[in-house]
Amino acid sequence: MYDLNEVRTFVSVMETGSLKESSQELGVSKSTLSRRISHLEEALKQPLLRRQANRLIANEAGLKFLPFAKKLLHVADEGHKAVDELKDEVSGSLVVYVHTTLVRGWFSGLMFNFLDEFPQVNIEVRTGNQLFQEIKSNDVCVWVGEPTNEQLRTEKIGSLSQGLYASADYLAKMGTLNHPNDLSQYAWVDTLKSECNNIVLEHEEEGSLSVDLPKSRLTVDQYILHAEAIIQGKGVGLLPHYFAEKHLNRHPDIFVSCLPEWKGNPLPVYLQYPFGHLPKKMQTLIQYLREEAKVFC
């Protein structure tokens, strides 16, 4: 049987065509490379290379063996990576970009839990609602809405159902909202700077309904400000049910659900992270986020 160093040497020489270049690439002497190739040829019981104008060229046997040699090295490298992951510590620094919609009520809690569980990890959290920044090798992004960065692996981990909410005081002043078509008579708090002129609402029995909206006097790009505007009685607006329920659990009277049988379009939640083999700390955080996002499904 031949050894992996011999196979790696053969593949390198096939790619460079030169013992000198392969010697520099692999960090060993030319005599060592020659000896490895000789051993490989002895194991295979036939020559693999021939000299031509100071270059090493594969013969027919070498050309036939090359794809198998590359596959063998690939499998061996993957095996090393798999074993290395078992001994890797979950430690080091991570940068996590989090959409503003997810910060309060979801990510803030799990962030502290993750740090408690893995004390050797440091996390830098950056929040926003537009992905201006360039994601680097140690970065993970948790996003609401369709992502635009095609250079990253994108994985949907859930969706946020939405409903209509208003403060009890506002409805007492304006009257109960009985049907989506009545929305034109109410002030509208724009949904996280969507600047939409209408919304589509879904009903299990009545199906989809597109509703024209009055122009919002208040347009915000922060979920907290959006919820606060509704709480302060500035009008009716769409809120994710998950976060509305979090608010109501703490403060039961801050707002009420309007037309609970009608739902807005769900907001998809995505994970984005680099392609390729990821360090253990990133794999661990990604799996942690997947599990925590099950509350959105």
Q: Are residues 54 and 170 in the same domain?
A: no
d(CA 173, CA 167): 10
Number of CB atoms found within 10 A of residue 146's CB: 9
Same domain, 72 and 109: no
DSSP string, 209-266: EEEE-PPPSB--S-HHHHHHHHHTTS-BEEEEHHHHHHHHHH-TTS-EEESTTEEEEE
Among the candidates 60, 87, 114, a domain finishes at 87
| Boundaries of domain holding 269 | 92-297
pLDDT in tens, 137-159: 558 999 888 877 777 889 999 99
Residue-wise pLDDT for 240-293, tens only, equals 998 888 888 888 888 999 999 999 999 999 999 988 888 888 999 999 999 999
In terms of Cα–Cα distance, which of 102, 137, 140 is closest to 223?
102
In this structure, the answer to whether residues 152 and 29 fall within a common structural domain is no
Among the listed residues 193, 204, 209, 199, the one whose alpha carbon sits nearest the alpha carbon of residue 129: 193
Domain with 50 in it: what CATH number?
Answer: 1.10.10.10
Residues 138 and 279 in one domain: yes
140 and 269 belong to one structural domain: yes
* Closest C-alpha among 294, 270, 287 to residue 118: 287
Domain with residue 294: its CATH number is 3.40.190.290
Are 104 and 204 contained in the same domain? Answer: yes
205 shares its domain with 67:
no
Pair (96, 56) in one structural domain? no
Domain boundary among 67, 87, 107: 87
Please report the pLDDT score of residue 132 as a whole number. Answer: 52
Tally of domains within the chain: 2
Same domain, 145 and 59: no
pLDDT at 133 over 60: no
Q: pLDDT (tens digit, 9 = 90+) per residue, 24-69?
A: 888 888 888 888 888 988 888 889 888 877 788 888 888 999 999 8
Q: What are 86-100's pLDDT values in tens digits?
A: 556 788 889 999 988
* CA proximity to 270, closest of 141, 180, 166, 174: 141
- Cα–Cα distance for residue pair 259/254, rounded to 1 Å: 17
The predicted structure's pLDDT at residue 243: 87
CA distance 171 to 164: 12
The CA–CA distances, whole Å, from 38 to 30, 35, 259 equal 12, 5, 80
Last-in-domain residue among 27, 60, 87: 87
| Same domain, yes or no: 171 and 185 | yes
DSSP-derived 3-state class of residue 45: coil
